[in-house]
């Protein structure tokens, strides 16, 4: 019997991790999850039964593991766990093509590809599609979507215009309006439209030109000055994600589409921030100067 596998894609900040958290918190089956950015999954501590650095075992029988470099090996390692998961979820990175990942389930024995989910930020998707640096990436992510979750509809202006744009790009997809990644797991299961023939060669990770910068702040931030630094970020900064201190307390910082949020947490094992941007991202000294000035 093949193991159902769901791939969740979407651009940086669309809400993929929020959807993974929602599915894990409301699981009616044993999920096994592979994620790129393990540290930022931020699962409710009450759900965590055990942790060994690269794996979280949850009280509801689910397990969450870091993806690593070899997707096929990660899938087979997860499928071989005891007890075995009943459904595997892969969260694709924000700049990858989820269809390339999904095809592995079509050629790898033992897995059955469920409908491919692509999350979009309903408040930003129209600007993203028009952007010269990221528009083609966003279109490519939507090209084979079978479910499109229009996330953050509470922040969007003309949702009907967003739905029309998605329908033009991918009329075969089922559209769902969501907030905070809350998509019921019953929406994940249906017979998808005919798919192109898979190829082992395109399952490799695509190359992209989104520069990244990792930085570990040497101390805590002043909250007001940090917010000012975030407000001053240029549009070439697509994403900031990581762990930082505001005064004595630790927070998960998430920034995308000129919006940000802080989530309180315990001291992380690997503090630090990652900046992801377009090819015209400022040099490190220029980009970090406002953040260094925001330190206490």
Domain count within the chain: 2
Round to whole Å and give the CA distance between 46 and 58. 9
**CATH number of the domain bearing residue 98:** 3.40.50.300
Residues 145 and 256 in one domain: no
Range of the domain at 269: 212-293
- Given this model, what pLDDT does residue 199 score? 58
- Given this model, what pLDDT does residue 193 score? 85
Stretch 61-81: mean pLDDT, rounded? Answer: 81
Round to whole Å and give the CA distance between 250 and 264. 6
User: Hey, is 89 helix, strand or coil?
Assistant: strand
- Given this model, what pLDDT does residue 43 score? 57
- Given this model, what pLDDT does residue 237 score? 93
Residues 219 and 242 in one domain: yes
Stretch 260-268: mean pLDDT, rounded? Answer: 83
Stretch 88-103: mean pLDDT, rounded? Answer: 88
Tokens linked to 32? 């096994």
**Segment among 209-223, 229-243, 256-270 with least mean pLDDT:** 256-270
Residues 222 and 172 in one domain: no
Residues 8 and 66 in one domain: yes
- pTM (2 decimals)? 0.83
pLDDT digits (tens, 9 = 90+) for 115-163: 999 999 999 999 999 999 999 999 999 999 999 999 999 999 999 999 9
The string of DSSP codes covering 63-85 is EEEE--S-HHHHHHHHHTSSSPP
Tell me which of 203, 229, 247 is where a domain ends. 203
36, 119, 288 from 278: Cα distances, Å: 20, 20, 16
User: Hey, is 116 helix, strand or coil?
Assistant: coil
pLDDT digits (tens, 9 = 90+) for 156-192: 999 999 999 999 999 999 999 999 999 999 888 899 8
Percent of the chain with pLDDT over 90: 51
- Given this model, what pLDDT does residue 163 score? 97
- Given this model, what pLDDT does residue 291 score? 97
Round to whole Å and give the CA distance between 246 and 130. 36
Residues 113 and 168 in one domain: yes
Residues 170 and 223 in one domain: no
Which carries the bigger pLDDT value, residue 242 or residue 202?
Answer: 242
Least Cα distance to 64 among 108, 12, 20 occurs for 20
Is the pLDDT at 36 greater than 70? The verdict is: no
Which carries the bigger pLDDT value, residue 64 or residue 293?
Answer: 293
Q: Which residues contact 71 (CB under 8 A, 6 or more apart)?
A: 34, 90, 101, 104, 203
Residues 251 and 194 in one domain: no
Is the pLDDT at 207 greater than 60? The verdict is: no
Stretch 68-87: mean pLDDT, rounded? Answer: 84
Stretch 62-74: mean pLDDT, rounded? Answer: 77
Round to whole Å and give the CA distance between 32 and 189. 17
Residues 221 and 170 in one domain: no
């Amino acid at each position: 019997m093949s193991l159902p596998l769901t791939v969740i894609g979407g651009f940086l900040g669309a809400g993929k991790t929020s959807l993974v958290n929602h599915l894990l918190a409301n699981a009616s089956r044993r999920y096994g999850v592979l994620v790129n950015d393990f540290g930022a999954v931020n699962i409710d501590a009450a759900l965590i039964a055990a942790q060994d650095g690269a794996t979280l075992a949850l009280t509801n029988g689910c397990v969450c593991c870091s993806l690593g470099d070899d997707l096929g090996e990660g899938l087979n390692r997860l499928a071989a766990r005891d007890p075995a998961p009943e459904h595997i979820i892969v969260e694709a990175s924000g700049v990858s093509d989820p269809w390339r990942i999904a095809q592995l389930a079509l050629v790898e024995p033992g897995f059955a590809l469920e409908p491919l989910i692509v999350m979009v930020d309903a408040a930003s998707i129209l600007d993203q599609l028009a952007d010269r640096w990221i528009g083609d990436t966003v279109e490519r992510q939507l090209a084979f979507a079978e479910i499109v979750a229009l996330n953050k509809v509470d922040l969007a202006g003309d949702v009907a215009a967003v739905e029309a744009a998605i329908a033009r790009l991918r009329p075969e997809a089922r559209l769902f309006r969501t907030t905070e990644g809350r998509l019921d797991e019953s929406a994940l299961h249906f017979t998808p439209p005919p798919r192109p023939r898979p190829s082992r060669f395109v399952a490799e990770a695509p190359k992209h030109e989104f520069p990244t910068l990792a930085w570990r702040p040497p101390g805590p931030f002043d909250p007001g000055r940090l917010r000012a630094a975030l407000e001053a970020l240029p549009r070439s900064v697509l994403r900031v994600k990581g762990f930082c201190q505001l005064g004595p307390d630790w927070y998960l910082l998430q920034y995308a589409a000129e919006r940000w949020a802080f989530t309180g947490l315990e001291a992380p094992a690997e503090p630090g921030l990652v900046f992801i941007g377009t090819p015209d991202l400022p040099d490190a000294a220029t980009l970090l100067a406002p953040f260094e000035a925001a330190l206490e």
